[in-house]
Chain A
Amino acid sequence: MSDANLPETPAGPYVYDYKTAPNRQIELPKTVPLPGYRAYVAEQKAQAEAEEAKWQKQLADYETAKAKAEAEGKEAPTAPVKPAPKKNDTDMVFPAPTEAQAPDLLRLMELLGDKVEEAFEQAGEMTCQVGRDHILEALKLCREDASLKYEMLADETATHYPAATDFAFSVVYHLTSLARKKRLRLRILIPEGFEPQSATQIYPGANWLEREIWDMFGIRFQHHPDMTRILCPEGWEGHPLRKEYPVVGWGQRDIDFRDDRSGMLNRIALEKAGQLGINLKQPKAE
């Protein structure tokens, strides 16, 4: 085999370019994929309107083309056919949200009145969005009302929606009723910096879940017994599950190490800085 068939040898050692690495780049989402009945209806309506407008334009185009052809004495163009609405008859479609009909949701709406912002069902799951100042009341009702009896908080989590204008996060409470074998989802939408009431006042098990939300999203909860980080080390910068946080973090991984007992990481940092042309070395004291 001749040398010409061999791949070209690189000039130097392979160097990973950290600055342009794909996991350093942040791409913020442009949509707000928040499930909800009202949003779904609005979306459907907009879609239907767009299709209707398209059809009207097609008709108008046809009319003008026909008039033109008649004036010139040519053959008339064929008339357009209205496209039939597309039908998806596979069973792989995700079920669309529907209006609240379940007795639990109706009961909640009756008890809370206009504090409920939205209630809907989707894929057999119940979701109730309440005003962000009334979440404690809603949780208390869910736990204590005889016809609801959701005695367990299965999970509590949050989602970041950077593209939304009137809120930044949704905090979601997944409740389970062991006695009635039912599940219910409560949701609040909060802006940046808003501190919701801690659910530990009603479900003590929310303690660690809320610490995790604080750690990952930077949402603080009022009246929480111990609002500290739970997964990241103390003194970590940033909240990793926010959308603007790059996957590799803000450089902690490369240089700094917070508890460097043997000085080894310090040496690595010096070496790295040396590669970048920075002299971090302190002159030795005599």
Chain B
Amino acid sequence: MGVIHQPSSFENLLITTRVEKVMNWSRATSVWPMTFGLACCAIEMMASGAARFDFDRFGCGIFRATPRQADLMIVPGTVTYKMAPTIKLLWDQMPEPKWAIAMGSCATCGGPFDSYHTIQGVDKIIPVDVYIPGCPPRPEALFYGFMKLQDKIMTSSLADRYREIFEEVG
């Protein structure tokens, strides 16, 4: 049959790679963030998602309305003491693998609010992968931060994320 006499098409069908790389690639190009905003930075995040800047080009535009379907938590804005337990709860509800971006000065270090009601950086309550400075960061800055996160995902190994667990199990 014709198919047998065409060995080159068989080569066209096959790609050899590592499982980890495929998984990382698929994860990095379909990061679903959570619909969630805290302050003025959230407006900038919405602008990034809208037509002019179009976050979707990076595979990151499907803002999910529930933490259970989200991979990425962009924390855009001021983290107050009153809001912190809620943010922590949402983070705990997100399934692994999950990432967090601290967007803006407020989420990275408290920003202009060196006062009684603001937690000085969201990293006091959840682990953060990428910090984006700016008040607010421009959409380009958010994209750059997100591309940095994609780099991080591409270079991560499955063992990295679960090293603690693996080491415990032995």
Which positions in A face B, CB cutoff 8 Å? 23, 231-233, 240, 245-250, 252-253, 257-259, 261-262, 264-265, 268
Contacts and interface: CB of A to CB of B under 8 A. Distances in A.
Contact of B88 (A247, A250, A262): A262
A26 to B, nearest CB: 12
B119 A262 contact: no
Nearest to A259: B85
B20 interface: no
Contact of A265 (B89, B117, B118, B124): B124
SS class of chain B's interface: helix, strand, loop or mixed?
loop
A249 B85 contact: no
A249 B69 CA distance: 37
Contacts of B12: none
Interface residues of B, number: 17
B84 to A, nearest CB: 7
A23 B124 contact: no
Nearest to B127: A264
Contacts of A264: 124-126
B85 A248 contact: no
B21 to A, nearest CB: 32
A248 B114 contact: yes
A247 B116 contact: yes
Given A232-B82, A252-B81, A261 B117 contact: no
A249 B110 CA distance: 15
Nearest to B118: A253
Contact of A258 (B81, B115, B116, B117): B81
B92 interface: yes
The 10 closest A-B CB pairs, nearest first, are: A249-B116, A259-B85, A233-B82, A247-B115, A261-B88, A248-B116, A233-B81, A240-B116, A23-B114, A253-B116
A261 B114 contact: no
Given A231-B82, A233-B81, A268-B124, A261 B92 contact: yes
